[in-house]
């Protein structure tokens, strides 16, 4: 069992090679993981034990990463919350031990709700088709043990059974019955996301739903009544096993408070023994953890320059000739001096250490020494590899390999491919491993603007938009009398039960768009060559392509579609026709009409935005577009070799990615017909760390 956490609280849990919870690499949003929501029952104030997923700023927020645990501590409205997260050395289980201290002078009642999307499948299979993966998960609740169970129904006799359990252990300050939820649609709510789920913000009780739910998750809720100065302790445990009996036996053990005390002591002891066995000092282990960040989250600080990445024109199959699959993240170390072997020896230790943490990567040692008869350095490097590995294969966990390559035998295009593909490129000539890992590239933004989404000068609500007479109208949508369009009205508080989508395409190129304006674009193959991301999420329906309208005087920001910014109290009308979709919206004194279509004979998506000023003042508006590139089947897999650039002739932004064998020669672009004032190809710069598209 392995666990990864970020300072914001995002991260993953794995049992052998199976993902326990859903996680996606996203250095910008970082909102995937297992979370705890906190709510003051009296005031209604809501926050979380970690910064994610609510992203509420605490009065004080501290995170401490130790070898055996992670500690999150924050203070909100005179409530001190301290959560320790650790793994059991004796069981495939993780523990989140929460201490809540009332620093107020009056009694406080708090509600604590856990949440994670249960997977019990390989991360690759879940990423490829999450909705299909969800269909095989079944849940149940065991009242006597305060435990939720989940299992994945086998698709064939070759699949081994896997079970997961989630339980909470309470102390004397707990009140009321434990509530539970395993249906994500009921917890999140249609059209919402994890930052503001309906079960936390708008509902008093969870629905206690279990069974063959279509979108499974696990959530337990309890309340504590805290006198002034008192501290309540709760322990949320997530564990895995091979049978129902196995996980129930483990769950029963974890309901005993003495089990946590034993694990708390053993975790520290085992961590010290492991470091001693691997001959790693605590500071060195911390260094390896920082190196792991570059493997899990793409970071330019240790990557080759953009110019080097741009020179690569080969796809990932070019690595196969060296025995490198390209499936695992790669760390590259270049060395040309016999005396610099220390950094290689240290990276081999990091390879072992991180494997014990469940993180596998390929280490490529590139011998840059000029060709000679003796090949002293090559022999020394190969000897280091053969004698350096101290950890055997873990059960069910794929181990990365170590490769020693000679630069003088590699073609220049193969070296370019290796540089473009690696997650971190190190050099023995650029200082010690510690100096290189800690070296960051800082940059200052030329300007910073934060739009106020609460209108200051204009009524955000336009007039109630009228619908034409519709046939077979169901209260939300219906056909026009001529049958040419299906019209959907998203009035205040109204959502369709699932995304109502229009598929628009010619023989080579197409896109989908839902009634909320969300969707994705593809070329030739709708799965293998996604231009923008399709997240296969019928609940939140997150967009990967957005148009924004900004009032430059008032700072009001909105979108012509219901996603990502839905103006409260306003109406949105979507018209799905054959070969086009049109969206109408009026708010802030501005009427907008947005039409998407694909020409019969062109591989291009055209979006026509018409804006009409219906207020009585002159308005200064800015229109911005957001396009999230994929150029393949997986955003995380494709990102390291993505190249973006401004084409001076057309004033368009180009994007290309040679990683794909079949589609790597294609170039995508995005442009305004009449040019643009400014641009960025950095998603973090546009959204902001821990930000959203809202």
Report the number of distinct structural domains present in the chain: 3
> Does 456 have pLDDT greater than 50?
no
* Residue found under tokens 């034990």: 49
Q: Which residue has the higher pLDDT, 464 or 16?
A: 16
On whether both 83 and 20 belong to a single domain, the answer is yes
> Does 440 have pLDDT greater than 80?
no
Position 394 confidence tier, pLDDT thresholds 50, 70, 90: low
> Does 454 have pLDDT greater than 60?
no
On whether both 151 and 54 belong to a single domain, the answer is yes
Q: Which residue has the higher pLDDT, 424 or 463?
A: 424
- Answer whether residue 658 is part of any domain: yes
* Mean pLDDT, rounded, for 11-26: 97
Cα dihedral across residues 521, 522, 523, 526: positive or negative:
negative
The Cα 608–Cα 580 span in angstroms is 11
Q: Could you write out the DSSP letters of every residue in 598-666?
A: --TT-S--EEEEEEEE-SSS---EEEEEEE----BS-HHHHGGG-EEEEETTTTEEEEE-TT-TTTTT-
Q: Could you write out the DSSP letters of every residue in 400-465?
A: P-EEEEEGGGS-HHHHHHHHHH-SEEEEGGG--HHHHHH-------S-------S-SSS-S----P
> Does 396 have pLDDT greater than 90?
no
On whether both 110 and 135 belong to a single domain, the answer is yes
- Answer whether residue 420 is part of any domain: yes
In the prediction, which pLDDT does 388 show? Answer: 72
* Mean pLDDT, rounded, for 99-113: 98
In the prediction, which pLDDT does 373 show? Answer: 62
- Answer whether residue 431 is part of any domain: yes
Sequence-separated (6 or more) residues with CB below 8 Å from residue 100: 38, 79, 80, 81, 110, 112, 224, 226, 231, 232, 233, 234
Q: What pLDDT digit, counting tens, does each position of 494-503 carry?
A: 999 999 999 9
The Cα 401–Cα 578 span in angstroms is 52
Range of the domain at 555: 470-687
H helix runs in 282-432, sequence order: 282-296, 306-310, 341-356, 376-388, 412-421
* Mean pLDDT, rounded, for 67-95: 97
* Mean pLDDT, rounded, for 212-226: 97
The Cα 170–Cα 31 span in angstroms is 27
Position 442 confidence tier, pLDDT thresholds 50, 70, 90: very low
| Token reading at 85 | 């997260």
Sequence-separated (6 or more) residues with CB below 8 Å from residue 539: 184, 185, 188, 189, 190, 192, 215
In the prediction, which pLDDT does 145 show? Answer: 95
Cα distances (Å, whole numbers) of residue 251 to 34, 85, 192, 611: 18, 17, 32, 59
In the prediction, which pLDDT does 156 show? Answer: 86
The Cα 13–Cα 34 span in angstroms is 9
| Token reading at 245 | 């009996």
- Answer whether residue 449 is part of any domain: no
Position 444 confidence tier, pLDDT thresholds 50, 70, 90: very low
- Answer whether residue 693 is part of any domain: no
> Does 621 have pLDDT greater than 60?
yes
The Cα 622–Cα 552 span in angstroms is 7
* Mean pLDDT, rounded, for 186-200: 97
pTM above 0.75, yes or no: yes
The Cα 44–Cα 108 span in angstroms is 12
Of 388-392, 575-579, 627-631, least confident by mean pLDDT is 388-392
DSSP symbol at 293: H
- How many CB atoms lie under 10 A from the CB of residue 262? 14
Q: Which of 419, 438, 457 is the last residue of a domain?
A: 438
Q: Which of 278, 309, 326 is the last residue of a domain?
A: 278
| Token reading at 274 | 């492991």
Q: What pLDDT digit, counting tens, does each position of 463-490 carry?
A: 667 888 999 999 999 999 999 999 999 9
The Cα 328–Cα 296 span in angstroms is 11
* Mean pLDDT, rounded, for 387-402: 73
> Does 24 have pLDDT greater than 80?
yes
Q: What pLDDT digit, counting tens, does each position of 331-386 carry?
A: 999 999 999 999 999 999 999 999 999 999 999 999 999 877 668 899 999 999 98
> Does 445 have pLDDT greater than 50?
no
On whether both 121 and 240 belong to a single domain, the answer is yes
Q: Mean pLDDT in the chain?
A: 93
- Please count the residues of the chain: 694
Position 449 confidence tier, pLDDT thresholds 50, 70, 90: very low
* Mean pLDDT, rounded, for 198-212: 96
On whether both 210 and 296 belong to a single domain, the answer is no
In the prediction, which pLDDT does 459 show? Answer: 60
**Residue-wise burial string across 451-477, b where 16 or more C-beta atoms lie within 10 A, e elsewhere:** beeebeebebbbeeeebeebeeeeebb
On whether both 496 and 432 belong to a single domain, the answer is no
In the prediction, which pLDDT does 458 show? Answer: 56
* Mean pLDDT, rounded, for 507-529: 97
On whether both 291 and 229 belong to a single domain, the answer is no
CA-based end-to-end distance of the chain: 36
359, 25 contact by CB (below 8 A): no
- Answer whether residue 244 is part of any domain: yes
In the prediction, which pLDDT does 461 show? Answer: 59
**DSSP-derived 3-state class of residue 229:** coil
> Does 220 have pLDDT greater than 60?
yes
On whether both 552 and 506 belong to a single domain, the answer is yes
Residue 624 pairs with which residues in a beta bridge?
548
What percent of the chain has a predicted confidence (pLDDT) above 70?
A: 95
Cα dihedral across residues 517, 520, 523, 526: positive or negative:
negative
- Answer whether residue 463 is part of any domain: no
- Answer whether residue 627 is part of any domain: yes
* Mean pLDDT, rounded, for 108-123: 98
On whether both 268 and 358 belong to a single domain, the answer is no
On whether both 303 and 237 belong to a single domain, the answer is no
335, 428 contact by CB (below 8 A): yes
Tally: H helices and E strands in the chain? 14, 38
* Mean pLDDT, rounded, for 216-234: 98
On whether both 148 and 288 belong to a single domain, the answer is no
Of 67-76, 293-302, 513-522, 590-599, least confident by mean pLDDT is 293-302
> Does 395 have pLDDT greater than 60?
no
Q: Which of 242, 261, 278 is the last residue of a domain?
A: 278
The domain that holds 585 is classified in CATH as: 2.70.98.40
Q: Could you write out the DSSP letters of every residue in 266-285?
A: HHHHHHHHHHHHHT--HHHH
In the prediction, which pLDDT does 398 show? Answer: 79
Of 464-468, 561-565, 634-638, least confident by mean pLDDT is 464-468
In the prediction, which pLDDT does 441 show? Answer: 52
On whether both 391 and 433 belong to a single domain, the answer is yes
The Cα 589–Cα 615 span in angstroms is 5
């Amino acid at each position: 069992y392995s666990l990864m956490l970020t300072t914001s609280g995002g991260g993953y849990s794995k049992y052998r090679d199976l993902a326990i919870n859903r996680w996606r690499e996203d250095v910008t949003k970082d909102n995937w993981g297992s979370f705890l929501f906190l709510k003051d029952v009296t005031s209604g104030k809501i926050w979380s034990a970690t910064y994610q997923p609510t992203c509420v700023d605490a009065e004080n927020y501290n995170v401490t990463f130790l070898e055996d645990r992670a500690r999150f501590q924050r203070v909100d409205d005179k409530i001190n919350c301290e959560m320790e997260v650790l793994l059991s050395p004796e069981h495939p289980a993780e523990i989140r031990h929460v201490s809540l201290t009332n620093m107020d002078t009056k009694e406080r009642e708090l509600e604590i709700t856990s949440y994670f999307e249960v997977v019990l499948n390989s991360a690759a299979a879940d990423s490829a088709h999450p909705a299909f993966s969800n269909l095989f998960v079944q849940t149940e609740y065991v009242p006597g043990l305060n435990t939720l169970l989940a299992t994945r129904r086998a698709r064939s006799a070759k699949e081994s059974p896997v079970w997961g359990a989630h339980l909470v252990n309470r102390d004397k300050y707990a009140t009321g019955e434990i509530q539970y939820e395993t249906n994500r649609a009921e917890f999140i709510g249609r059209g919402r996301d994890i930052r503001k789920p309906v079960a936390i913000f708008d509902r008093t009780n969870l629905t206690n739903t279990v069974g063959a739910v279509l979108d499974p998750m696990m959530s337990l809720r309890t309340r504590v009544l805290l006198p002034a100065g008192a501290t309540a302790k709760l322990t949320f445990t997530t564990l895995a096993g091979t049978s129902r009996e196995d996980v129930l036996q483990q769950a029963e053990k974890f309901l005993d408070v003495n089990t946590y005390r034993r694990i708390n002591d053993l975790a520290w002891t085992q961590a010290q023994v492991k470091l001693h066995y691997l001959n790693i000092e605590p500071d060195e282990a911390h260094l390896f953890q920082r190196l792991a960040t570059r493997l899990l989250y793409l970071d330019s600080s240790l990557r080759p320059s953009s110019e080097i990445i741009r020179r690569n024109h080969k796809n990932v199959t070019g690595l196969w000739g060296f025995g490198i699959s390209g499936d695992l993240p790669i760390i590259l170390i270049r060395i040309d001096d016999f005396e610099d072997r220390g950094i290689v020896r240290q990276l081999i230790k990091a390879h072992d250490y991180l494997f014990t943490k469940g993180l596998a990567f390929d280490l490529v040692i590139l011998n840059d020494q000029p060709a000679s008869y003796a090949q002293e350095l090559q022999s020394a490097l190969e000897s280091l590899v053969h004698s350096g590995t101290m950890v055997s294969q873990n059960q069910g966990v794929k181990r990365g390999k170590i490769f020693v390559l000679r630069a003088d035998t590699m073609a220049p295009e193969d070296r370019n491919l290796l540089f473009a593909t690696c997650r971190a490129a190190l050099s023995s000539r650029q200082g010690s491993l510690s100096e290189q890992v800690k070296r960051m590239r800082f940059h200052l933004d030329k300007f910073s603007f934060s739009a106020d989404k609460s209108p200051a000068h204009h009524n955000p609500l336009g007039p109630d938009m009228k619908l034409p007479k519709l046939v077979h109208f169901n209260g939300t949508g219906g056909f026009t009398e001529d049958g040419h369009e299906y019209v959907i009205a998203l009035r205040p508080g109204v959502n369709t039960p699932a995304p109502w989508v229009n598929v628009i395409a010619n023989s080579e190129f197409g896109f989908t768009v839902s009634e909320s304006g969300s969707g994705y674009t593809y070329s030739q193959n709708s799965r293998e060559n996604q231009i923008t991301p399709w997240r296969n999420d019928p609940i939140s329906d997150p967009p990967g392509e957005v148009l924004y309208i900004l009032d430059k005087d008032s700072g009001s920001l909105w979108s012509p579609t219901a996603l990502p910014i839905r103006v409260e109290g306003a109406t949105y009308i979507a018209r799905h026709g054959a070969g086009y979709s049109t969206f109408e919206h009026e708010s802030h004194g501005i009427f907008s009409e947005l039409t998407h279509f694909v020409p019969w004979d062109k591989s291009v998506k055209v979006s026509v935005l018409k804006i009409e000023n219906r207020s009585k003042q002159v308005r200064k508006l800015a229109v911005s577009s957001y396009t999230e590139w994929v150029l393949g089947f997986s955003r995380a897999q494709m990102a390291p070799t993505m190249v973006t650039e401004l084409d001076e002739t057309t004033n368009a932004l180009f994007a290309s990615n040679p990683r794909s064998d079949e589609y790597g020669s294609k170039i995508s672009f995005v442009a305004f017909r009449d040019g643009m004032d400014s641009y960025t190809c950095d998603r973090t710069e546009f959204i902001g760390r821990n930000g959203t598209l809202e």
